Structure 1
Amino acid sequence: MIAPKPMSRPDRVSPWRYLQLFRRDILSAQPERLYKAWMAEFRTPFFRSYLANDPALVHTILRDRPRDFPKSSRIGEGLRPLLGQSVFLTNGPAWERQRRIIDPAFERGRLAHALPAMWEAGQAMVARVLDQIGDGTEIEVEEIASHAAADVIFRILFSIPIEDETAAQVFHEFRAYQRSQPILNLAAFVPLPRWMPRFHRAETKRAALKIRSLITRLVEDRGRAIATGTAPDDLATRIMTTPDPETGGCFSAEEMVDQVAIFFLAGHETSASALAWALYLCAAAPEWQSRIATEADSVMQATEVKRLTTSRDVFRETLRLYPPVPMMVRQSTKSETFRNRAVPKAAQLVLSPWHLHRHTRLWDAPDAFDPARWQTEAARQSARDAYMPFSAGPRVCPGAGFAMAEGPLLLSLLLRAVTLTPMPGKVPQPVAHLTVRARDGIWLSAHPRGHADTATAGSTDG
């Protein structure tokens, strides 16, 4: 099955047209040649940008010399109203201090504490969907995935379900933020001085302010519970009580608000994107959907998530085809020479999981949905060279282990309860906003599994 992919732009367009296309959708704004190029250069009146697809270059930038290539501040301009000085946006000593405090809470052994929360959120998701579909109906799965992922992150962070009043308000406001916030604003293209105001949409600023005020309430309540010894042992408590091993200081309440904002963005938005695409791919490939459902029938509790090997391969393949964060941008701190090409200081270096994961020189049948590839040595080698849905090196997502447990678990729980089939004429078209989503949502036909009227799934090529 060929997974839907956006049409590429013509190879040559004017800088102004490129800017227009980029603001609308960064995926379709790129030329087709990037799926086979090792390196490409883009010039604008304000900066030079270089796409690095060569695995050796990616390794140099992310793993060998990460301090020489900090995150570009331009990409974070559009997210600053919500994320403040969170770990996602900082560099240097500030980022190092934040990771020293955050990383212990995400250590592998901590995953066991998160699994019951994931299981409870998954069961709640299944109950909502079964109630919604009755004997069978059309559903939009991005909304379902967003609701479930938000439920997971609130249960893991603050031990509250999405039905909690404050959690529900944050989820509602975040949906408004998603609709109003483009992935890039003017400052991503034009190097504005620090004193110059940033031009954010009024609705974006309103939603960000409301979200931060709600998070502040949660953080202050947790601080009081920690002080009285009544706080639950969840992610928020662990992070708020972990001192920096070098200075002995913990996050202030304001710093914690910044971190919770990125945990919610990363733990909710990216997980929802991946789960929604996984559900679509399984609907379009019914043999894999059936295998997941059969496998899930033998899993009766959260601690058995490791047995979901088929679901894990499907989720890995989904992250290959639809990495939630399609591009990452670093900035050179000095002049470099990459592949015999001069790269000036302050150049923007684009690392694109979207192109790496579909690169014609690195993957067999790169646009095909084929979870079986993950049991082959060829795919394992490609993964070592060109698979980074959670980034790589020191800045790898600290919640990657959580995501690789949550995604397969939610996918399995839903598919053992529900049969999904594609809607005729409704092939989703990927676009990149905050994450890779479908332009008009992902609409599928859903029936309770085993229901007599369940339609037979057909193949879908995009």
Structure 2
Amino acid sequence: MTPPKPQPRADKVSLRRYLKLFRQDLLSAQPQRLYRAWMAEFRTPFFRSYLINQPDLIQTVLKDRPDDFPKSNRISEGLRPLLGQSVFLTNGEVWKAQRRIFDPAFEGGRLKDTFPAMRAAAQACADRLQSRVGNPVEFEEITSHAAADVIFRTLFSVPIEHEIAAEVFQKFRAYQREQPLLNLAAFVPLPRWMPRFHSRRTRRTAQDIRALITRMTQERAGQIANGTAPDDLATKIMTTPDPSTGRCFDTDEMVDQVAIFFLAGHETSASALAWALYLLALFPEWQDRIAAEAHALDQPDFSAIAKLRSARDVFRETLRLYPPVPMMVRETTCPEQFRNRGLPTGAQVVLSPWHLHRHERLWDNPDGFDPSRWSTENGKRCQRDAYMPFSAGPRVCPGAGFAMVEGPLILSMILRRFRLETIPGKTPVPVAHLTVRSKDGIWLRLVER
């Protein structure tokens, strides 16, 4: 049984046809040959784009010479209204200063500190599902709620039921439905003064979210000043000075960082968790393995995470098949030579976890679901050279370790109490919006274990 995958388009279409397909769905707009190609060129009247799947070229871009390949400003345009100047969008010295403040909050010891809040959110998710036993359940909604709860508990020490947290969650869901992964600015070079094609509704929703985050940030700043702030991620980030300059984030800068923390930590985790639950419904023998190991959670201790091996392997395999962020774009700052082909300054370099993770020349059984692959020689080699759900190099997601605790934990907490079954006629179709989601949701039936 092969998990669902978008049907690639024909190899040759006109630019007009491609743009139409692209706006409908980023994934199915791409040709089949990208699952075998080491490199491909795409030309528009405005710029050239080069997708690279060759591992040594990816290492050059992400690890060896990252400063020569900054994030493309074209791609950031679609997210600018919400994220401002967050660490996800910036480049150069601004980005480096932000990471010097941001990274200490996600060091190994902090994961242990956030575990009780994360576990409480996972337990609350399982408790909410109790009333849904026997009925079809749309799990993208469930995982969005759970991932948002994790964010608010670990970041601001409040559950999702908190008034402002609940409102941010609802507004963010609206933003996710309104905003595509890329907008027209990704294809057309626009002068700075020209409007960026964000709808009025998108801009208003982003403003509402940022206003709510500002309230929470200002309240926390007051608690820090009074010595009453809880020891959570928000406090850690807001009180960590840049070791080079000694300055901390001001309120506006902190709002930018909270916005990306919510986007990266909520939206991506929700996507991966929903697909993981669907894959487990397709392959019930893995449900039983996870349930057996989940007894480790009887002891509410961080050490239990190391015992959730099957859940970890399933979550890792889900991130391979359905990477939440399917494509990343960098830009050349000088002429480059890749595979005997010249790349001009300003060319777009596309790194596609979606294609790399399913590359037919790299992976054994690339479209199949096989969590045991990570103990094979091919799996170990590909994990090192051809696996980047969190990006790689200096710009690797700082929350990668956080996600690899959260995902297996929530899967284990659900499966220790319930079984999941697929529903005939409800096969999900992957599409890319802000992240890889299902076109019509992920519907499963919940059965008490």
Structure-2-length-normalised TM-score: 0.99
- How far the C-alpha of 1:377 sits from its partner, in A, is 1.9
- 2:354 aligned partner: 354
The counterpart of 2:228, out of the listed 227, 230, 237, is 230
Counterpart contact for 2:296–2:308, Cα < 8 Å: no
Matched with 2:243 is 245
Identify the match of residue 157 of structure 1 among 147, 150, 155: 155
Superimposed CA distance per residue, residues 267-318 of structure 1 (whole angstroms, 9 cap, x where no aligned partner): 0000000000000000000000111111112321241111100110000000
Q: How does 1:432-443 map to 2 (within 5 A)?
A: 432-443=432-443
What's the counterpart of residue 15 of structure 2?
Answer: 15
The answer to whether the 8 Å contact 1:431/1:437 transfers is yes
Q: Is the 8 A contact 1:50 1:349 kept in 2?
A: yes
Q: How many residues align?
A: 447
- Report the equivalent of 1:143: 141
Q: What's the offset of the Cα at 1:418?
A: 1.1
Q: Which residue matches 1:191?
A: 189
Tell me the secondary structure at the aligned position of residue 98 of structure 2. Answer: helix
Of the three residues 212, 215, 218, the one matched with 2:216 is 218
The one-letter code of the counterpart of 2:285 is: E
Matches within 5 A, 1:333-344: 333-344=333-344
What amino acid maps onto 2:165 in structure 1?
A: A
Whole-angstrom distance in 2 between the partners of 1:434 and 1:385: 26
Could you say what secondary structure the match of 1:437 adopts? Answer: strand
Q: C-alpha separation between the residues in 1 aligned to 2:166 and 2:436?
A: 23
Partner of 2:256: 258
Would the aligned equivalents of 1:55 and 1:386 in 2 still touch at CA under 8 Å?
A: yes
- Opposite residue 223 of structure 1, the aligned amino acid is A
1:24 and 1:246 mapped to 2: Cα distance?
A: 45
Counterpart residue type for residue 346 of structure 2: A
What secondary structure, in the 3-state scheme, does the structure 1 residue paired with 2:296 have?
coil
Shift of 1:185: 1.1
Aligned partner letter, 2:344: P
The answer on whether the counterparts of 2:327 and 2:351 sit within 8 Å (CA) in structure 1 is yes
Residue matched to 2:128? 128
Whole-Å separation in 1 of the counterparts to 2:210 and 2:232? 20
Residue 298 of structure 1 aligns to a residue whose secondary structure is helix
Say yes or no: does 1:115 pair with 2:83: no
* Alpha-carbon offset, residue 376 of structure 1: 1.2
* Distance in structure 1 (CA, Å) of the matches to 2:52 and 2:293: 39
Contact 1:23 1:183 (C-alpha < 8 Å) held by counterparts: no
Deviations 1:117-136 (A, max 9, x none): 11000000001011233xx1
Partner of 1:91: 91
> Structure 1: which 5+ residue stretches go unaligned?
450-462
> 2:52 is matched with which residue?
52
Aligned residue for 1:384, secondary structure, equals helix
CA displacement at 1:24 relative to structure 2:
1.6
Percent of paired sites with the same residue: 69
CA offset digits 1:226-257 (Å, max 9, x no partner): 00000000000000000011110000100000
Equivalent position amino acid for 2:339 in 1: R
Distance in 2 of aligned mates of 1:203 and 1:179 = 11
Map of 1:454 onto structure 2: none
Alignment partners' CA distance in 1, 2:9 and 2:117 = 43
C-alpha separation between the residues in 2 aligned to 1:55 and 1:155? 38
2 CA distance for matches of 1:174 and 1:24? 21
Deviation by residue 1:358-382 (Cα, 9 ceiling, x = unmatched): 0001100000000011111220001
Residue 214 of structure 2 aligns with an amino acid whose one-letter code is: T
2:291 maps to amino acid: A
Classify the secondary structure of the residue corresponding to 1:227.
Answer: helix
Q: Kindly indicate whether the alpha-carbon contact (under 8 Å) linking 1:53 and 1:355 is maintained by their aligned counterparts in 2.
A: yes
User: Where do 1:281-296 residues align within 5 Å?
Assistant: 281-296=279-294
- Name whichever of 180-189 and 250-259 sits farther off: 180-189
Letter in structure 2 aligned against 1:369: F
CA-based RMSD: 0.7
Do the aligned partners of 1:119 and 1:302 also contact (CA within 8 Å) in 2? no
Report the 3-state secondary structure (helix = DSSP H, G, I; strand = E; otherwise coil) of the residue aligned with 1:42.
strand
Alpha-carbon contact 2:132-2:446 (below 8 Å) kept: no
Is 2:41 aligned against 1:41?
A: yes
User: Are 2:39 and 2:53, in contact at CA under 8 Å, matched by a contact in 1?
Assistant: yes
| 2:297 match: secondary structure | coil
Q: Distance in 2 between matches of 1:299 and 1:145?
A: 20
Q: Residue 77 of structure 1 corresponds to which residue in structure 2?
A: 77
- 2:394 corresponds in structure 1 to 394
Conservation of the 8 A alpha-carbon contact between 2:294 and 2:413: yes
1:83 maps to amino acid: L
Partner of 1:25: 25
Distance 2:422 2:131 in 1: 20
Q: Does the aligned pair in 1 maintain the 2:148–2:160 contact within 8 Å?
A: yes
Equivalent residue number for residue 63 of structure 2: 63
Query: C-alpha separation between the residues in 2 aligned to 1:355 and 1:48?
Result: 19
Letter in 2 for 1:81: P
Segments of 4+ in structure 1 off by > 4 A? none
Q: Measure, in 2, the Cα distance between the counterparts of 1:315 and 1:157.
A: 23
Q: Tell me the secondary structure at the aligned position of residue 365 of structure 2.
A: coil
- Structure 1 window deviating more from structure 2 (17-26 vs 72-81): it is 17-26
Find the counterpart in structure 2 of residue 458 from structure 1: none
- Letter in structure 2 aligned against 1:240: M
Instruction: Map 1:292-303 onto structure 2 (within 5 A).
Output: 292-300=290-298, 301-303=300-302
Cα distance between partner residues in 1 of 2:135 and 2:328: 38
Q: AA paired with 2:309?
A: T
Q: In the aligned structure 2, how far is the partner of 1:137 from the partner of 1:274?
A: 22
Deviation at 1:2, TM superposition (A): 1.0
